[in-house]
Every structure is written in C-alpha cells, then in structure tokens.
Amino acid sequence: MADSKVGERRMKAIEKVLYGMLVVFVIYIIIEIIRKIFGGSLGFEEIVISLLVANLGYSFYLSHSINKVDSKISGHIGWHKGKASH
C-alpha cells in the first residue's frame, strides 16, 4: 500500500518535470521565432521541426488528461446505470 503511494508520487513528479521541460522548450521556440522575424536564428526547417515536436509533446500531455476525464465520466455514467465503478 505504501509502495503504491510512493509510486504515484514519483509518477506525478516525473509528469511535472516533463511538463516543465515542455514549457521551457515552447518558450525557447517562441524566442527563436521572434529572432527569425527580426532576421536571425535558426533556419525555417529547424523551427518547423521544433514546432512539430512541441505539438507532439503537448498532444501526449492532453491525451493523458483526457484519459483521466474519460475514466471519471465512464464511472459517473456507470453509477447512473447502477453498475459498480472501479
């Protein structure tokens, strides 16, 4: 029982760190886009690839959040139908 709580805390901490890294990466991309507008920085291809990587990372983050909401909704609908939720 204690191991599962430690595991949950560890997973939440890892999620927060990864999300923080994604935020820092997106801020870096924004800075590079601004630099590109004013005439320097990375090439167009590098910026496009970095935007695709940021989009992919954010998609994984959203899918994890949507799965949490989906399981809550399924449990609630099951409650209305008289089924036991897990």
User: pLDDT digit string (tens) for 28-83?
Assistant: 888 888 888 888 777 888 888 888 888 888 787 777 777 666 676 777 676 677 76
- Taken in order 9, 60, 48, 34, the sign of the CA dihedral is negative
Instruction: Count Cβ atoms below 10 Å from residue 37 Cβ, excluding itself.
Output: 9
Tell me the whole-structure pTM to 2 decimals: 0.56
Residues with Cβ within 8 Å of 78's Cβ and at least 6 positions away in sequence, in order, are 84, 85
Region for residue 82 given its phi and psi (left: phi exceeds 0; alpha: psi -120 to 50; beta: otherwise) = left
